[in-house]
Amino acid sequence: MAKTAEPHSAEFQRGWDAAILAARAWHEAKARQAMVQSRRTRFPKVLEREAEFHTRSAEMMLTLSPDDV
């Protein structure tokens, strides 16, 4: 199997970008969901921490590169 000089093909990069966008959107949706639930519960702090976790995860998605995996 011949290896090209370029480490990642254009198709791979498109797939990577799509996967990162999907994961980021999922984390953002979970953060919104947790915040809505926190307004409706007697114990909002746990859900607020969960929302904070998902928000940070969504932000960290931008720093990932294919070389990290």
> For the whole prediction, is pTM greater than 0.95?
no
pLDDT digits (tens, 9 = 90+) for 57-68: 999 998 998 888
pLDDT digits (tens, 9 = 90+) for 34-46: 999 999 998 899 9
For 54, counting Cβ atoms within 10 Å of its Cβ (0-12 exposed, 13-18 middle, 19+ buried), the class is: buried
Phi, psi for residue 26 in degrees, rounded to 5: -65, -45
Q: How high is the pLDDT of residue 1? A: 46
